[in-house]
Amino acid sequence: MFELTQLEQLIAFSECETLSKTAEILLISQPALSRSMQKLESDIGVTLFDRTKNKISLNDNGHMAVEYAKQIISDSHNMIKRINDYNRSKHTINIGSCAPAPLWNLSPIVSNLYSEFTISVDVKNTQQVLDGFHSGLYQLIILPYPIKSNDLICLEYCKEHLLLSLPPAHPLSLKHEICLKDLANETMLLYSEIGFWYDMCMEEMPNTKFVVQSSRSDFNILVQSTVLPSFSSDLDNLKYSAQTNRIILPIKDECANPTFYCILRKSDKSRFSNLIDFINYQNKQQKNSDVKIHRSF
CB neighbours of residue 186 within 10 Å? 17
3-state secondary structure of 51: strand
Angle at 212 between CA 211 and CA 217, to 5 degrees: 110
Q: How far apart are CA 224 and CA 236, in angstroms?
A: 16
Alpha carbons 124 and 20: distance in angstroms, whole number: 46
The sign of the dihedral angle between the CA atoms of 244, 249, 255, 261 is positive
Q: Which residue has the higher pLDDT, 185 or 244?
A: 185
What is the per-residue DSSP string for 76-133?
Answer: HHHHHHHHHHHHHHTTEEEEEESSSHHHHHHHHHHHHHTTTSEEEEEE--HHHHHHHH
For 137, the enclosing helix (H) or strand (E) is none
* CB hemisphere CA count around 210 (13 angstroms): 19
Residue 293, pLDDT score:
44
Model pTM greater than 0.85? no
Q: What is the pLDDT of residues 47-92, one digit of tens each?
A: 999 998 888 999 999 999 999 999 999 999 999 988 987 787 778 9
pLDDT for the residue 296: 46
Averaged pLDDT of the chain = 91
Domains and CATH numbers, the chain: 4-86 (1.10.10.10), 91-159+258-296 (3.40.190.10), 162-256 (3.40.190.10)
The bridge status of strand 247-250 relative to strand 56-58 is unpaired
How confident is the model over 113-122, as pLDDT tens digits?
999 899 999 9
Report the 10 Å Cβ neighbour count for 193: 13
Average pLDDT score over residue span 177-193: 95
